[in-house]
Structure 1
Amino acid sequence: MIQLIELVPLALVIAVNPMPIMAVLLMLSTRGGVTRSVGFAAGWLLGVAFATTTFSYLSSFIPMGYDREPLVVIRVLPIVVGGALVAAGLFTWRRRSAAAERPKWTAGLDRLSVARSAGIAFAFATIKPKNVALTAAAGVIILDGHPPLITIVLLLVIFTLVASSTLIMPVLLHRFGSTRMRAFLDSARRWLTRAMPTITSSALVLLGSIVTVAGIMRW
């Protein structure tokens, strides 16, 4: 289904955001961090689900064109979003040499309560401009053609799980994995701090290109 081809790259762009991944990995490295990281991952998942569901509902009010065909704006949106992601990736790549060390906002992560961790993640997932744009585009794509309710729910679940997978997996690996796996997660945290700009720019260019091509295929 063409919707999945467009939705999965959008979800992956959200998933590879280094900031929340770093937050979870840092929490896991602190005393009592597993509980906080669970709260953070749950808040992120709920935030993505809430934003995508909201935009899906709002997009249901977009009128159909003649002959029940989607309006041109719906067909153009994936191409515009994909192009914007590629441009953002190239811009990030050019500025990669100016990468910071560990972000200052991570300093107090070890003192957060579970509820506060969940609240911060929820707000980050729903308010961050890039996430707003991506979940809005996903909502429009999901409701494109006004599919059956079961299809809408399935697409929402897939999008939310993929977008949250990079936060859920480290928590599960740390909780149920071996000591070697925990050491790997700690190494991944240090590597992520150094390689954040390169990861972000490469992911944006690659996934933006996929979204753009999928949008062009609609025509």
Structure 2
Amino acid sequence: MGPVIGELLPLAVGVAISPIPIIGAILMLLGKHARTTSVGFALGWVAGIVIATVIFVLLGGGASSGSDAAGWIKLGLGILLLAEGIREWRARSGAQSTPKWMSAVDEMKPLTALGLGFALAAINPKNLIMSAGAGVTIGGAELSGASTSIAVVVFVLIAASTVLIPVIAYQVAADALRGPLDRLKEWLEANNKTIMATLILVIGVVLIGKGISALG
């Protein structure tokens, strides 16, 4: 199972340092209903990662047993990420657009925050592609049921950590975190395109390499 976990790490880190969900969580932690909306957002984020990953674990399992399907899937996902990374790299110096939902965070209810967290994890194309890559990697490895579950849990915990840790910490030490969270939000807003473009390019190349290796 060790080699599988090794393949999952860059994908999990890719999801974890995706700036938009982190900014969303921070905005909720700085908002009027910080404790409840942030918990809803974190639960939705985790659920989205779990569901997207498990779906592709099942697809990856069906594509194993000596076929080249898993390799082609990884190659296709890698090409998609590479293309998106190139697009974002070219656009990184342009005006930073802010999603409309960010301006509504103060009035957001926990259920809405849960749905938003789920959408950013399971529907947002960039995070979905990385979760898909993880699922195909796990499913195609032909692990036992217990090892498959462990691999999914490891991926989800790492991928969700950058949202879960601030939310959990806020429940314990809200006042101490306000200043650091505000500074982190400003830095991420200023640098999110460069961060994401670099990350997507690297992971896209890794997936293409894994796909080619699987087809060789």
TM-score (norm 2): 0.87
2:48 aligned partner: 47
2:19 match: 18
Aligned to 2:143: 147
In structure 2, the CA distance between the partners of 1:212 and 1:176, relative to structure 1 (3 Å rule), is: farther
TM-fit CA distance, 1:177: 4.1
2:121 corresponding residue in structure 1: 125
User: Are 1:14 and 1:163, in contact at CA under 8 Å, matched by a contact in 2?
Assistant: yes
- How many equivalent residue pairs? 214
Per the alignment, residue 176 of structure 1 pairs with: 172
1:58 aligns with 2:98: no
Identity %: 32
What is residue 67 of structure 1 aligned with on the other side? Answer: none
Matches within 5 A, 1:172-211: 172-177=168-173, 179-211=175-207
Aligned-pair CA distance for 1:101:
4.7
CA contact (8 A) 1:6 1:215 kept: no
Shift of 1:45: 0.1
Write the distance in 2 (CA, Å) between the matches of 1:63 and 1:160: 22
Q: Structure 2 CA distance, aligned partners of 1:17 and 1:194?
A: 14
SS in 2 for 1:60: helix
TM-score normalized with structure 1 length: 0.86
1:52-103 deviation per Cα after TM superposition (whole angstroms, max 9, x unaligned):
1122123333362xxxxx3223234334433432332222111112232533
Q: Does 1:166 align with 2:167?
A: no
Q: Shift of residue 173 of structure 1? A: 3.2
- Partners of 1:30 and 1:11 in 2: CA distance: 28
Distance 2:76 2:5 in 1: 18
- CA deviations on 1:155-195 (whole Å, 9 max, x unpaired) are 11011111111111221333334745431111011111111
Deviates more, 1:114-123 or 1:72-81: 72-81
Would you say the 8 A contact 2:78–2:207 is kept in 1? yes
Secondary structure (helix, strand or coil) at the match of 1:100 reads coil
1:94 maps onto 2:90 in alignment:
yes
Structure 1 unaligned segments of length 5 or more: list them.
65-69
Distance in 1, Cα, partners of 2:86 & 2:47: 30
Segments of 5+ residues of structure 2 without an aligned counterpart are none
What displacement does 1:142 show?
A: 0.7
Instruction: Write the letter of the residue equivalent to 2:41.
Output: F
CA–CA separation in structure 1 for the residues paired with 2:172 and 2:116: 25
95-104 vs 135-144, greater mean Cα deviation = 95-104
